[in-house]
Amino acid sequence: MRNLQIEALFGGVLALVVLGVAIYAIANTSFGGPDNGGGSEPTTVAISGDPVVLTASSGQDLICECYDSGFDLAGKVKVISPEYRTGFEQCRARGGIDGGDAWTAGWNARLSAKPYEASCRAYKRRS
């Protein structure tokens, strides 16, 4: 009978410890999105660099425009940058799957071992 009392005592202490950890975790968790210091103003994110805007070039088709834009941007920013995503989405919206593929091919060509061999004309021959 004494063993049951000791087990109940340790079980109760263990339950209180688990409950305390759970309360601590809930108290330190933010459920309403990012914490901006308790103020009412929203958090702003600054994006560096110039925005990527694709415009129609005279005498150049959209596939080459996307390819060349991706190629040029690959030397300036990383693939996780907002500029990469914006350029890809613009090419995909204007040129469909082929426009998005051309953007990605241009990007990858710049990062390849032989970027001097890469060109839109060579890309079109392979496609």
Structure tokens belonging to residue 117: 């061999």
pLDDT at 34 over 70: no
Percent residues over pLDDT 70 in the chain: 74
pLDDT at 79 over 70: yes
Determine the pLDDT at residue 21: 83
Structure tokens belonging to residue 41: 């103003």
Angle of helix 62-74 relative to helix 82-111, nearest 10 degrees?
90
| Mean of pLDDT over the chain | 78
pLDDT band at 8 (very low <50, low <70, confident <90, very high): confident
Count of alpha carbons within 13 angstroms of residue 112, beta-carbon side = 15
Most confident of 9-18, 30-39, 65-74, 114-123: 65-74
Stretch 47-66: mean pLDDT, rounded? Answer: 63
Letter string b/e over residues 60-90, b meaning 16 or more CB atoms within 10 A of that residue's CB: eebbbbbbbbbbebbeeeeeebebbebbbeb
pLDDT band at 1 (very low <50, low <70, confident <90, very high): low
Which amino acid is it at 99? Answer: G
Q: Are 51 and 82 in contact (CB under 8 A)?
A: no
Among candidates 57, 77, 76, which has minimal Cα distance to 120?
57
pLDDT at 43 over 60: no
pLDDT band at 92 (very low <50, low <70, confident <90, very high): very high
pLDDT at 36 over 80: no
The pTM of the full predicted model, rounded to 2 decimals, is 0.53
